[in-house]
Amino acid sequence: MWLKAYFDEIAFKYGLCEDEIKGILRQTAEQFYTHKLRCPVLCEFTSEGLTLRKYQANGFGGKESVFSLRRADLRHMAKALQNAFQAQAIVAKQRCLKPFIGTAVHCFFLRYEQEVGVFYAEASEGIRIPAYCSLRSTPIHERNTYTPGQMLWFHVTGLSEKDREVCFILSRTTERLVDELFRLQGSTVHCVNRISGARSLVQTEKRIPKAHIVFTANELKERVIVRYGK
């Protein structure tokens, strides 16, 4: 059946599951043929494939006809389907990337665009997400100093959409970045005060390895002061 090959093609291109593809295909076909035939049309998946049921124009009192769509019929809905698949892919990607908000990600610097740093963030092994950091969210001593290929840690403050891509919004100035850098090394601290590029004051209940402090200080290029106790 051509539908199986079509589902595989769309799933590979947009990263959608079969139920999402079916829902979009059903809704788009109903809207398209209801408008085209000027009568109520319902779409369903049957053993015959993608089936359309055309009803009388004055209501659902009696069925007029039932017919199945072929792959070639989708070309009439190609643009509407493309837009719907792209929109759903963005929603699905936002859902997938939402857990990264509030965490630290390692980023690969690409270039500057109108005072905004453009990066690729390593969300997981082999997966790179477009990411952006404004100058306002960059420490003063680091502004306009990054070079292509440079790797730095950033805090993910949110998600945005650019050119039909879901991207990370980054910050190097937030106190949460300090907490996350320690967490990545296995230590739990709470940054109670930070002047980015100068110093960070962190609170912790347990002693932490000196190497964790040195790593964080070197990454942020600032002094890290550790205060023990509650």
3 state SS of 119: strand
**φ, ψ at 152 (rounded to 5°):** -140, 160
The pLDDT value given to residue 165: 87
CA–CA dist 158, 134 (Å, integer): 13
Query: Is the Cβ–Cβ distance between 169 and 187 less than 8 Å?
Result: no
List of the chain residues with pLDDT < 70? 57-63, 230
The pLDDT value given to residue 39: 83
Ordered alpha helix ranges (H), the chain = 2-14, 18-37, 78-97, 175-184, 210-220
Instruction: Name the CA dihedral angle for 86, 92, 97, 102, rounded to a multiple of 10 degrees.
Output: 110
Neighbouring residues of 165: CB distance < 8 A, sequence distance ≥ 6: 130
The total of other beta-carbon atoms located within 10 Å of residue 127's CB is: 11
* pTM, rounded to two decimals: 0.79
CA–CA dist 169, 212 (Å, integer): 26
The pLDDT value given to residue 26: 93
Query: Is the Cβ–Cβ distance between 166 and 93 less than 8 Å?
Result: yes
